[in-house]
Amino acid sequence: MLWYLIITLTLALFISILGNIYLIRQAPADTPAPAVRPSGSKPAEVGAFYDRTTHQFLEVYGEVIQAFRTNNVDDYLDYTMSSAELHDGQRILDAGCGVGGPASYFASRLYVEIEGLTVSPVQVERSRQTIAARELKGTVHIQTGDYHQMQDIFGPEQFDRIIFLESFGHSYRQEQLIESAYACLKPGGILYIKDLFRREHPNTEDGAKIDAIVDGINKAYNYNVADFTSIMKAIRKLNFILLSVKTPEVKTEQFEHLTISNDFQNLFDIGKIVTWENYVFPIDFYEVKVMKPPFDINKEKHLYFLNRPQ
Ligand SMILES: C[S@@+](CC[C@H](N)C(=O)[O-])C[C@H]1O[C@@H](n2cnc3c(N)ncnc32)[C@H](O)[C@@H]1O
């Protein structure tokens, strides 16, 4: 009887160990990779970067710190207003607002209330000048803060629009940032991200070049150039309604052609475009516009497939 018990227990132990080994071996395949890998600079490092360099950005870019732009940058801001559907009466969060160039422009055109967050105290200080220089219809309030903490700073369901204008890619927690934006949007509110996204590898050789240039951008600018597929996955996980994904629509003759950015690279000594010949584009500029459903998706299922449900 004792032998019988010992043999049974030994067998059970053996089977259990085998089972565990099997599960451990299977784990990588069964465990989904995180949608967006946490990497990139911490907000404090990004803040220190802008505290050090904002005067250089101002010299080259002026008060709108965006690489994809028009020769007359107001044309681009007009385009942004229409593309992000900014209207009178809205409460807007400009997440990563720089020195308030875009926010003060929007508020000079519209009766809106804009909250701006930048992680750089130097930019907050400088934004006072930017705001004072304009006659505003609406209001602009800019403060130092980490946009990853927007929920703690503002609370849930506060905004009609949350816009990221070439600021999203500074995030080291991009999936979490999208979740925070979802929480802070009112039902029916829109998240609008305009940024650079890592280009898909067309082939191995160009892929290696793309990765090398993107690494250079990330290092030079404390950036974490977003992966489009991962971002879309994070957005869809939350059941955002997809309104549009597109390359910004500016007229060829209005496009600034990244000339300013090219000048700027001189200051940072990275990836200057010397000639288009053999040049491999490392990134794409996209606008991603999505809406938090204005209805309870668990209850009003008849509205689920609609783009603009009423
Ligand atoms: C390239 S600038 C764009 C500024 C502005 N959107 C514009 O168009 O002029 C990036 C901005 O993102 C801000 N930023 C980066 N990481 C941030 C964070 N974690 N929280 C808040 N702002 C952040 C920086 O402080 C900076 O103002």
39-73 pLDDT, tens digit per residue, is: 589 999 999 999 999 999 999 999 999 999 999 99
CA 91 vs. chain centroid, Å, equals: 19
Determine the Cα–Cα distance for residues 64 and 66; give it in Å rounded to an integer.
6
Please list the alpha-helical segments (H only) found in 136-271.
150-154, 174-184, 204-221, 228-237, 259-268
Q: 3-state class of 143 per DSSP?
A: strand
Q: Which atom of ligand 1 is nearest to the CA of 221?
A: 1
State the distance from the centre of ligand 1 to the C-alpha of 151, rounded, in angstroms.
Answer: 17
* Residue 23 burial (10 A CB sphere; 0-12, 13-18, 19+): exposed
Please say whether the dihedral angle defined by the alpha carbons of residues 36, 282, 224 and 204, taken in this order, is positive or negative: positive
Number of the ligand 1 atom closest to the C-alpha atom of 67: 1
Report pLDDT for 125.
98
Q: What pLDDT, on a 0 to 100 scale, did the predictor assign at position 6? A: 54
Q: Distance between CA 68 and CA 160 in Å, rounded?
A: 25
Q: 12 C-alpha vs ligand 1 centroid, how far in Å?
A: 58
Task: Report whether pLDDT(36) > 90.
Answer: no
| Cβ(167) – ligand 1 distance below 6 Å | yes
Mean pLDDT of the chain: 89
Beta strands in the chain (DSSP E): 91-95, 113-118, 139-144, 159-165, 185-198, 241-246, 283-291
What mean pLDDT comes out for the span 154-160? 98
Extract the tokens encoding 83: 């593309």
Residues paired with residue 117 on neighbouring β-strands, in sequence order: 95, 143
pLDDT-derived band at 263 (thresholds 50, 70, 90) equals confident
Q: Are 94 and 165 in contact (CB under 8 A)?
A: yes
Non-local (6+) Cβ contacts of 40 within 8 A are: 170, 171, 172, 218, 222, 223, 224
Query: Going from the N-terminus, what domains does the chain have, and what CATH number goes with each?
Result: 41-301 (3.40.50.150)
Write down the pLDDT at residue 10: 54
Is 120 a pocket residue for ligand 1 (Cβ < 6 Å)? yes
> What pLDDT is attached to residue 4?
56
CA distance 44 to 50: 10
What spacing in Å lies between the alpha carbon of 3 and ligand 1's midpoint?
Answer: 71
Nearest-atom number in ligand 1 for the CA of 100 is 9
**215 has pLDDT over 70:** yes
Distance 236 CA to ligand 1 centre (A): 24
Nearest CA to ligand 1 atom 18: 146
What distance in angstroms lies between residue 216's CA and the mean position of ligand 1's atoms? Answer: 19
Q: What is the pLDDT of residue 29?
A: 39
Backbone phi, then psi, for 286, in 5-degree steps?
Answer: -135, 155
* Side-by-side strand order, sheet with 241-246: 139-144, 113-118, 91-95, 159-165, 185-198, 283-291, 241-246
pLDDT at position 279: 84
Q: Which of 83, 118, 164, 283 to mutate to test the pocket of ligand 1 (most atoms within 8 A of CB)?
A: 118
Mean pLDDT of all residues in 156-177: 98
Give this prediction's pTM.
0.87
Residue whose Cα lies nearest atom 27 of ligand 1: it is 98
β-pair partners for 285: 196
C-beta of 103 in contact with ligand 1 (< 6 A): no
- Residue 138 pLDDT > 90: yes
